[in-house]
Structure 1
Amino acid sequence: MNSATAPSPAAAPAIRVEGVEKSYGKLHVLTGVDFDVARGSIFALLGSNGAGKTTLVKILSTLLKADAGTATVDGFDVASRPGDVREAISLTGQFAAVDEVLTGRENLVLVARLRHRKDPGAIADDLLERFSLTEAGGRKVATYSGGMRRRLDIAMSLIGNPPVIFLDEPTTGLDPQARMEVWQTIRRLADGGTTVLLTTQYLDEAEQLADRIAILHQGTIIQNGTLAELQRLLPPAKVEYVEKQPTLEEVFLALVGEEPAGKDQS
């Protein structure tokens, strides 16, 4: 690849979003979104249902066109270089896209063949080991738990070693144990150098996983920072017997102007 077409250097953000807007008729979903995502980090896009998280992911993955603004992924502009962006990313939606009739290994081999990869069997075996699915690899996916299906889904999305992965509400509908399994998988991805953009409405998920958290509310990013930086937006902790830092839930609700659930509003 020559210098004229090469993506941005490693020091540049893996994802850059500037002034992105998107409307559906009179419904303004995104009204000017800005943020950067550092390479090899986990970035959580936190917001309520309908905040625009999935719309933004679709724009970044070239499935939708923005009405205004610019976005780059791995150094490629999503509007002018969509083919290069698709080569650099993987997208995992809210529900596992696996074939239940096939075994776990067969699902991986199928995707590797569709992507014209050499030695698909070896690729499948490596991913089964990486995602702790080796023993289950010969079983039909219909017998898998929710967490196992999601781990297999993420493993399938990594065939080809994309540097950037989008996980859109990856633990929706999973039980607590399955959520923990997926969390461990996401941490391992980042530890291996993959950039992860995670959308979620679960505050504890963002709190546990993210290097940085952006709160998307009414179509724009109202705050963006580390968990510690967001916690400092509220008044200092009151010291009685134990110093208690504000939770991410308290920060989120304060920023979007809502009362915590269960608080007496009389």
Structure 2
Amino acid sequence: MVSQFLLNGQWNEAMVRRYVPPLLVPRILSTQIHYQTGVQDIAIWQPNESGIFSCSSAWDLIRQKKDKIIFYSHIWHKQVPFKVSFFLWRTLRNKIPTNDKICSFGVEPASCVCCMSPGLDSSEHIFITAKYGGKKSSTVRVQHMILRDTLQLLKNPALSEFNWAELITAVTRCKQELKISVIKWEKPPKDILNTDGSALNNPGKIGGGGILRDCQGNLVYAFTIPLGIGTNNQAETQAAAHGIYWCVQHG
């Protein structure tokens, strides 16, 4: 609470400097506070006349608004389905992946292949999985991602002498199948600990978490912890180590 940073009605500078980022300290110390005992602190969002924070008022601070285009008001309309509006918007901005658009990237549409697996024979298949059971896999999206990755490979000097003709020949022998698999968590015969870790960059800020359940599926312990700076592998390992250490300490 703000009152915890006041001393005899004035800012407790030592405490402010202890908890507040240095760049904000002068602004806080220059702010006059009229302290009233027994009255709760209220946060005032100055960019908004009402004093209440809103996402729109925050956006107004950090982005530069462009002039409204009247024609777009007919496209982005509540009576028009979103996917229709989005398609029209992409069309007007020349963002539709037509053959001409693909050619502008320096790649002929005919050279866009639908998988990247050299060495497969005709009996082997490529599986494109659908993440959610009731939804269909988007072949167009898969092709786009593969084209993007292929373009990145072509720009790699180390692959300038790669035999792409053999790769395309192998790819033409591949088949595509759509398969939906149900993946679910099952109760283990005894207590089980699941952990995970992640990194914002590699290396970068890392963190981890985990959950421990008994053989009946009941929650025993759950945690989430910051792990400082490191790699994604360090995050995974330290998260597992934290969970295992807790289990050992509690028998």
Q: TM class, shorter-chain normalised?
A: under 0.3
Instruction: Point out the structure with max Rg over C-alpha.
Output: 2
- With the length of structure 2 as denominator, give the TM-score of the two structures: 0.22
